Amino acid sequence: MKRKIIDIDEKLCNGCGNCVPNCPEGAIQIIDGKARLISDIFCDGLGACIGECPLGAIKIEEREAEEYDETKVMPNIVKAGTNTIKAHLKHLKDHGETKYLNEALDYLKDNNIDIPEYENNCSNSGCPGSRTVNITSSFQNENSSSENLRLNSELRHWPVQAQLINPAAPYFEDSDILVAADCVPFTYADFHRKFLKNKILIVFCPKLDKTTDNYIEKLAAIFTNHNVKSVTIVRMEVPCCGGTNYIVEEALKRSGKNIIIKEYTISLKGEII
């Protein structure tokens, strides 16, 4: 069958092993100094391992592969302990993989294994932190010659974290979107005036966030369903931050849209490279 599955570029892989613990399904092992996909049936194709690769050696591709088998994966999950079971169940739920989630729950029930709490405490519709809000500044900058210059926040909406954004939010229509790795605003001092002004912000960490494919789907939905005028990517210079570009480019590819993309890289000293 043809389906999504990970692809590891051996030329880029340095065998660091960061991807291994982030694949609780047991699909990846370090063999002969390189990360290897040991079996198609263990890879769900959701990409939890991508954000852990500092060299960008792992990507999702669509090819002929054996079907993923949840019942063969679950023994590996259970062996790793309660936290891994919880992470795996949440991983499937967050990606809308209801079939696999039900198979995993059935396996736990059939083997008399306690099912840990894996649901989020709040949903996108009920959590105040993810409620869609348009923001209008209520003050103006003081005289620019003053030493006590007061700067406006250029943020125009809420939420901004990719996990919480609603792709149907009206502020995406006729928008210029800024996609920023979440370290950037702390590193580049003039982030608001240089990058954020008049843009709609989406932030995430391509290394630590575990819902990369979900981000791609959300961005693809935004690009598909709204008139997006441009996309600006701002990332850090560290290699693992290259996942920011991958997520945007893959989403754009899936949407079939031709949208202008501007890219900026920020050094660890807070300078534009």
pLDDT of residue 210: 77
80 within a domain of the structure (yes/no) = yes
**For the chain, how many structural domains are there in total?**
3
Helix axes 98-110, 70-79, angle to 10 degrees: 60
CATH value at residue 9: 3.30.70.20
Distance, CA of 153 to CA of 145 (rounded, Å): 19
pLDDT of residue 130: 46
pLDDT of residue 134: 59
Residues of the chain with pLDDT under 50: 121-130, 138-144
122-138 residue pLDDT tens? 444 444 444 555 555 54
Does residue 191 share a domain with residue 104? no
147 within a domain of the structure (yes/no) = no
141 within a domain of the structure (yes/no) = no
Structure tokens at 92: 């499937």
Does residue 201 share a domain with residue 114? no
227-256 residue pLDDT tens? 999 999 999 998 888 889 999 999 999 999
Does residue 41 share a domain with residue 112? no
Does residue 156 share a domain with residue 262? yes
Distance, CA of 213 to CA of 3 (rounded, Å): 14
Does residue 197 share a domain with residue 223? yes
What is the domain range of residue 211? 128-135+152-266
User: Strands 58-64 and 2-8: what pairing?
Assistant: antiparallel
272 within a domain of the structure (yes/no) = no
Does residue 110 share a domain with residue 78? yes
Does residue 187 share a domain with residue 171? yes
